[in-house]
């Protein structure tokens, strides 16, 4: 579930913190730079196709005709290995892969091997794949999920020229602000999914309980407004947790957005309404302390599940009806998406203003691994993901007649006899794939969803640091140490398990010992230079 993982910080991640990029990012333990060719020691000399005079740029044979179309008969067979995160592996994944491979054979002579890795082990498994130089082609990337670290380590390649040469149709489809805003040092290391651009946070509430207790969600304007309803659920609904969390999510995303223009526990923060752009240690402010106090009070009141600081994944509890509310990153129709995914009906309550920041343009992307043996073919495949409606819906929703049925020209429902719980392919993370504006809508979704996406983007406020990218080269040792300190405290404080009166000062002390003040000073220096150049 995207929102759950996107919320995987105890504080709103600032644009400068999620845009870290080290100098010399083309290096990778001695591997050659890719620049559109084959990486990981598997480079193939660019050949010339005598039939059309175009160079293959690292692909075994592009089969690209003069008009830009692809002649599959001139392409050698190739298998694209693609990793994406999800709640769990899907029973019918092989069936969907086989269907996609049948379709892709005549398009670009590709066999697709898409694999879903559960969110709880996603980071560890992908790090191992890179460490062992396992050959694969594509992976999901995002600003919050180590995107710039992957660049700095040389694990994902510069796709800029590949996009221009092999995916011009996709480039024409993608919102220009997404493609431009997702660049790092002027280069595209990820192909952004064409979707909403802004971030908004709030909570999801179980609809059956909202209806049962006649809760008027329009009256919920702040986190504190939820407390009377939590008391009701705690008293009258045994087995249901009022506010369900795991180790990576907290109410602090909502809290910090409403009290800071920027908040970063491992870097500099900007108080709400700042005019001098002077970065401070936000953890030392009364506003931050109040947020930690609130979640600790909720934990002590029994609103939060006792295993929140160690629980890996929320989805099982949500599907089992264990939660009344949980925090979520929102967009128009997010409640309908989660309802389809979990088989439980939800309603959403927005508690922050939509914001467009540098990190939002990097919120969901596909990147090409340095170990891909044919980046050009991979880019041909990505081009189809943005332009081929059948393909994107196949991967997003499965096989028509088996996993879903058409109930309108662009509207679907579960196939007869199939539910969210029993479907063999209910990934329901369409934001992982290509162009969402080509997606079918579920029967429970608003027919105007895509127009509302456009309106949502238009109504969003620009982040005060939109476009600023921090280069931590001069403090990379301190940044690494700060990250490790965060691992020690974030889950306990963010879930309310730890008393902030005791542990927040310890957290601050350890951050300072790790070099937080030095990092903030370096950020301030670069921020001042950036502002002067605007």
Domain limits, the chain: 14-197+361-396
* Ranges 12-16, 156-160, 183-187, 407-411: which has the least confidence: 12-16
**Helix, strand, coil: what percent of the chain each, to 5?**
45, 15, 40
| pLDDT at residue 516 in the model | 97
Q: Which neighbouring-strand residues pair with 210?
A: none
DSSP-derived letter for residue 358 is G
DSSP-derived letter for residue 206 is E
Share of the chain above pLDDT 70, in %: 87
Q: What does the alpha-carbon distance between residue 393 and residue 399 come to, in Å, rounded to a whole number?
A: 9
- Give mean pLDDT, residues 3-21: 34
Which residues neighbour 515 within 8 Å (Cβ) at sequence distance 6 or greater? 475, 477, 478, 481, 482
Token couple for 2: 């995207």
* Ranges 82-86, 488-492, 529-533: which has the least confidence: 529-533
Model confidence at 313, pLDDT cuts 50, 70, 90, reads: confident
- Give mean pLDDT, residues 516-530: 95
Q: Is the pLDDT of residue 202 over 60?
A: yes
Tell whether domain 14-197+361-396 is in CATH 3.40.190.10.
yes
**Tens-place pLDDT, residues 237-257:** 999 999 999 998 899 989 999
Q: Is the pLDDT of residue 141 over 50?
A: yes
Question: Alpha helix (H) ranges present in 284-355?
Answer: 286-300, 315-319, 334-342
Q: Which neighbouring-strand residues pair with 328?
A: 202
Q: Which CA distances in Å does 6 have to 142, 288, 382? A: 9, 20, 23
Q: With beta carbons less than 8 A apart as the criterion, state whether 370 and 28 touch.
A: yes
| pLDDT at residue 69 in the model | 57
* Ranges 162-171, 255-264, 375-384: which has the least confidence: 255-264
Asked whether the CA dihedral 391, 449, 431, 64 is positive or negative, the reply is positive
Question: Alpha helix (H) ranges present in 45-155?
Answer: 93-108, 119-131, 147-152
Model confidence at 26, pLDDT cuts 50, 70, 90, reads: very low
Token couple for 476: 């990379």
Q: Is the pLDDT of residue 56 over 70?
A: no
| pLDDT at residue 356 in the model | 83
| pLDDT at residue 451 in the model | 85
Question: Alpha helix (H) ranges present in 307-388?
Answer: 315-319, 334-342, 375-387
pTM (2 d.p.): 0.67
| pLDDT at residue 21 in the model | 31
Token couple for 191: 């192909």
Question: Alpha helix (H) ranges present in 109-174?
Answer: 119-131, 147-152, 160-166, 168-173
| pLDDT at residue 70 in the model | 66
Share of the chain above pLDDT 90, in %: 64
Of 223, 452, 202, the residue nearest 329 (C-alpha): 202
* Ranges 29-43, 87-101, 204-218, 510-524: which has the least confidence: 29-43
Q: Is the pLDDT of residue 61 over 70?
A: no
Token couple for 157: 């390649």
Q: With beta carbons less than 8 A apart as the criterion, state whether 230 and 348 touch.
A: no
| pLDDT at residue 176 in the model | 86
- Give mean pLDDT, residues 362-390: 96
């Amino acid at each position: 579930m995207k929102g759950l993982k996107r919320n995987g910080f105890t504080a709103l991640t600032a644009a400068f913190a999620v845009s870290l990029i080290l100098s010399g990012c083309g290096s990778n333990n001695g591997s050659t730079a890719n620049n559109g060719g084959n990486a990981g020691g598997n480079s193939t000399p660019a050949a010339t196709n005598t039939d059309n005079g175009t160079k293959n740029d690292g692909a075994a044979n592009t089969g690209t005709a003069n008009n830009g179309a692809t002649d599959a008969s001139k392409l050698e067979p190739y298998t694209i290995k693609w990793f994406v995160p999800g709640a769990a592996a899907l029973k019918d994944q092989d069936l969907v892969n086989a269907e996609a491979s049948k379709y892709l054979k005549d398009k670009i002579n590709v066999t697709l091997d898409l694999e879903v890795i559960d969110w709880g082990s996603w980071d560890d498994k992908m790090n191992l794949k890179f460490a062992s130089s396992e050959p694969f082609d594509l992976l999901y990337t995002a600003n919050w999920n180590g995107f710039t670290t992957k660049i700095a380590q040389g694990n994902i390649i510069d796709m800029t020229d590949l996009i221009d040469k092999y995916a011009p149709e996709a480039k024409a489809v993608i919102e220009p602000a997404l493609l431009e805003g997702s660049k790092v040092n002027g280069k595209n290391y990820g192909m952004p999914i064409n979707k909403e651009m802004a971030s908004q946070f709030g909570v999801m509430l179980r609809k059956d309980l909202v209806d049962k207790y006649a809760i008027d969600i329009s009256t919920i304007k702040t986190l504190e407004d939820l407390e009377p309803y939590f008391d009701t659920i705690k008293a009258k609904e045994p087995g249901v947790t009022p506010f369900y969390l795991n180790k990576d999510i907290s109410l602090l995303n909502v809290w910090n957005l409403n009290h800071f223009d920027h908040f970063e526990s491992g870097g500099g923060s900007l108080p709400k309404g700042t005019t001098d752009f002077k970065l401070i240690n936000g953890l030392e402010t009364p506003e931050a302390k109040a947020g930690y106090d609130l979640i600790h009070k909720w934990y002590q009141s029994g609103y939060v599940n006792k295993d929140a600081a160690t629980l890996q994944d929320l989805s099982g509890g949500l599907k089992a009806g264990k939660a009344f509310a949980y925090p979520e990153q929102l967009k128009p129709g997010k409640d309908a998406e989660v309802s389809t995914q979990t088989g439980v009906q939800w309603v959403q309550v927005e508690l922050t203003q939509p914001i467009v920041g540098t990190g939002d343009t990097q919120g969901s992307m596909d990147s090409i691994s340095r170990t891909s043996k044919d980046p050009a073919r991979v880019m041909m495949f990505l081009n189809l993901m943005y332009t081929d409606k059948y393909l994107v819906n196949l991967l997003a929703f499965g096989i028509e007649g088996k996993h879903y049925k058409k109930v309108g020209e662009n509207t679907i429902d579960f196939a007869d006899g199939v539910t969210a719980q029993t479907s063999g392919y209910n990934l329901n993370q369409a934001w992982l794939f290509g162009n969402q504006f080509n997606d079918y809508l579920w029967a429970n979704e608003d027919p105007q969803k895509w127009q509302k996406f456009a309106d949502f983007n238009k109504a969003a406020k620009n982040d005060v640091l939109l476009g600023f990218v921090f280069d931590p080269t001069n403090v990379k040792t301190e940044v690494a140490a700060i990250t490790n300190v965060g691992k020690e405290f974030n889950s306990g404080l963010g879930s309310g398990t730890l008393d902030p009166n005791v542990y927040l000062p310890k957290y601050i002390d350890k951050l300072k010992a790790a070099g937080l003040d030095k990092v903030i000073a370096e950020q301030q220096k670069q921020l001042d230079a950036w502002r002067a150049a605007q």
